[in-house]
Amino acid sequence: MNLELNGKRALVTASTGGIGRAIAERLHLEGASVILNGRTQNRIDETITAFTAKQGGKERLTGFAGDLAKLEDAERLIREFPEVDILVNNYGVYNAKPVAELTAGDFSEMFHKNVVTGSVLAVHYLSKMKARNWGRILFIASESGANIPVDMIPYGVSKAAQIALARGLAESTAGTRVTVNSVLPGPTRSEGVSRFLDEVLGQGGDRNQMEKEFVAKARPTSLIQRFADPDEVAPLVAYLASPLAAATNGAAVRVEGGLLRSTL
């Protein structure tokens, strides 16, 4: 399927690994110019080299090194790239902690990194998109925003807020060709998730067995009964970022392996 992304410019935050990298790679494969983001230039350079070796198109790849949770870095990004056609807010953090050990700082840090960081970019780029009457903004949220894990309450709350933020911003696009949606992945393989499993289940175990154990204990309602691969999430995001998804706006679109039992 031709997603009609040739000539579109996309910014994917936190895109040198995991879901963000898979999304950036898919958008680039579909013909978009992609701005990669990571904390270091080395990671960006490595990602550009990998993409180019696989599918060419180096002229459609650039990067921005910076921690977008820092306002000064976000403002520097906006100055360097004042307009984009597609914004994929993938940057985010997560951790697990018993309820009795939670502090105000756990909530404020999670909210800032997972909600405020994306809102700064979304508000800026949304105004530019509406002025041109075309654009796509996507928040990579989580099924945890609809199914708050008891051991990840600040994370789940921040993802619920992210879903609400996307819907609220979408309300301001009525009658335009700009859309704002959120995407809800379930457990998905990545470097960060591997580290998370090591913390939760202990280091040194068989990775496949650890994933099965996590799904059985923490996400037993999963219909696929496994972790997804980032490449299984990316095509959905690429579609929603495309002109073909013009009638999908203000939605929370699920790619969580069926673990949410509600039909809506």
By annotation, the residues acting in catalysis are 155
Say if residue 166 is exposed, middle or buried (CB neighbours under 10 Å; 0-12, 13-18, 19+). buried
Contact indicator for 73, 66 with CB cutoff of 8 Å: yes
Contact indicator for 249, 168 with CB cutoff of 8 Å: no
**C-alpha gyration radius of the chain:** 18
Helix, strand and coil percent figures for the chain, each rounded to 5: 50, 15, 35
Phi and psi of 105, rounded to 5°?
Answer: -65, -35
Q: Helix or strand or coil: residue 182?
A: strand
Contact indicator for 18, 190 with CB cutoff of 8 Å: yes
User: C-alpha angle with apex 130: 128 to 132, nearest 5 degrees?
Assistant: 75
Q: In sequence order, which residues have a C-beta less than 8 Å from that of residue 26 and are 6 or more positions away?
A: 231, 234, 235, 237, 238
